[in-house]
Amino acid sequence: MLSISSSDVIRKPSYVTQPKEVTMVKDAKQNTIKSIIFPYELYKNIRERLEDELYLIQNADALARKSYEAFLAIDEAGAEDLG
C-alpha cells in the first residue's frame, strides 16, 4: 500500500490515473485519510461486495441487525479472496 498527500497527486497525477497498488490519499494538514484508490483489476474483484455493503449501510434503518449479521455469516471473505 502506498500513502501519499494531496499535493503528491498534483505533482504526479499517475498515482490516481494509473495506480499500481492500493493508494491512500491523506490530508496533509490533518494527517487523515481522505481517499483510497484501487487499481481497476482489484476493483473488479471486490465491486460486488462493495455494492452489497453500501446497500446495507444506506438501508440500515430498513434492515434489522439480525439480517445484517446473517449476511456477514454468509458472505465471509478473507483477504486472500480479494487479491
The pLDDT assigned to 63 comes to 67
The pLDDT assigned to 30 comes to 84
The pLDDT assigned to 78 comes to 52
The pLDDT assigned to 44 comes to 87
Q: Let me know whether 69 and 47 are in one domain.
A: yes
Indicate left, alpha or beta for 31 from its phi (over 0: left) and psi (-120 to 50: alpha): left
Look at the chain and report how many structural domains it folds into.
2
Q: Let me know whether 33 and 45 are in one domain.
A: no
Q: Let me know whether 47 and 61 are in one domain.
A: yes
Q: Let me know whether 31 and 48 are in one domain.
A: no
Kindly list the averaged pLDDT for each block of 10 residues, start to end, along the chain of length 83: 85 88 88 89 88 84 72 64 55
Domain of residue 25 covers 2-37
Is residue 81 situated within a structural domain?
no
pTM summary value: 0.55
Is residue 28 situated within a structural domain?
yes
Q: Let me know whether 32 and 51 are in one domain.
A: no
The pLDDT assigned to 75 comes to 67
